[in-house]
C-alpha cells in the first residue's frame, strides 16, 4: 500500500500483462488505451517522468515488461450482465457512470475504458476502485487527458458500497470484497487531509 493506494506486485496476478510499447506509452503520458489511466501516486510518477528522456523510459519499460508474461497484452473482458441488481443501484450506475464506462469499444472523450477490462475491479484489494470513485481522476494534462469526476461528495457510503459490490460481481469473477465501509472511510479521510 502506498498513500492508501494498492500497488500490485508487477509479476503477480493483480497486475496486467504489458508490452514494452504499452508501458513506454503509459509511463510517458500517464495513459494507455488498453490499460487506462495512472491514478494516485502513479499519476505523480508519470508526471515526473515527463522530464526523463525517451530512451530512459524505454529502458524502464523493457525491464518492467520482463517481470510479467508479455504475450497477453489485453485483459480478457468480463461482463456478467445478467446479475441481479437493485433498481436504486442500477439507476446510479446508469446515471452516474455508464455514459463513460459502458461503451463496448475504444475510449470516449474522457478516455474512460469499459469496466469489463478494469484491473481495479479484479484486484484482491478494493482500495484502488474505492479511491477512484471517491477521488476521481484529475486531468493534469493540457491536451485533455483522462478525467473522472470525484464522487466522494455526491454519493453516500452506502451508495458507494452497493455500487462497488455490483461492479465487483458484474465485472470480475472474484468473490465479494469485505471491509468496503472501512476502505471508503480511509479514502475519504485521505482525500480531505491529503495524507
Measured from the CB atom, is 62 or 88 closer to ligand HEC?
88
Judged by CB under 6 A, does residue 113 bind ligand HEC?
yes
Judged by CB under 6 A, does residue 78 bind ligand HEC?
no
Residues 6+ apart with CB under 8 A from 13: none
Judged by CB under 6 A, does residue 187 bind ligand HEC?
no
**Full DSSP string of 119-141:** SGGGSS-SHHHHHHHHH-B----
Give the contact letters, 138-167, x = binds to ligand HEC (CB under 6 A), - = no: --------xxxx-x-----------x---x
Q: Cα(121)–Cα(30) distance, rounded to whole angstroms?
A: 19
Judged by CB under 6 A, does residue 100 bind ligand HEC?
yes
Closest CA to 35 of 50, 25, 45: 25
Which 7-46 positions form the footprint of ligand HEC (CB under 6 A)? 36-37
Binding footprint of ligand HEC, residue count (CB under 6 A): 26
Where is 83: in which H helix or E strand? Answer: none
Amino acid at each position: 500500500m502506498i498513500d492508501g493506494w494498492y500497488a500490485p506486485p508487477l509479476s503477480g496476478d493483480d497486475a496486467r500483462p504489458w508490452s514494452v510499447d504499452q508501458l513506454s506509452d503509459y509511463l510517458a503520458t500517464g495513459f494507455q488505451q488498453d490499460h487506462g489511466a495512472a491514478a494516485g501516486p502513479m499519476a505523480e510518477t508519470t508526471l515526473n517522468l515527463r522530464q526523463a528522456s525517451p530512451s530512459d523510459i524505454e529502458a524502464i519499460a523493457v525491464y518492467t515488461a520482463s517481470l510479467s508474461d508479455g504475450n497477453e497484452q489485453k485483459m480478457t473482458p468480463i461482463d456478467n450482465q445478467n446479475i441481479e441488481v437493485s433498481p436504486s443501484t442500477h439507476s446510479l450506475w446508469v446515471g452516474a457512470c455508464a455514459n463513460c464506462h459502458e461503451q463496448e469499444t475504444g475510449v470516449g472523450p474522457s478516455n474512460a475504458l469499459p469496466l469489463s477490462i478494469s484491473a481495479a475491479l479484479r484486484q484482491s484489494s478494493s482500495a484502488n476502485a474505492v479511491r477512484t470513485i471517491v477521488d476521481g481522476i484529475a486531468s493534469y494534462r493540457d491536451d485533455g487527458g483522462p478525467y473522472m469526476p470525484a464522487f466522494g461528495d455526491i454519493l453516500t457510503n452506502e451508495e458507494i458500497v452497493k455500487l462497488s459490490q455490483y461492479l465487483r460481481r458484474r465485472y470480475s469473477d472474484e468473490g465479494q470484497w469485505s471491509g468496503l465501509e472501512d476502505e471508503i472511510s480511509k479514502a475519504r479521510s485521505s482525500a480531505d487531509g491529503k495524507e
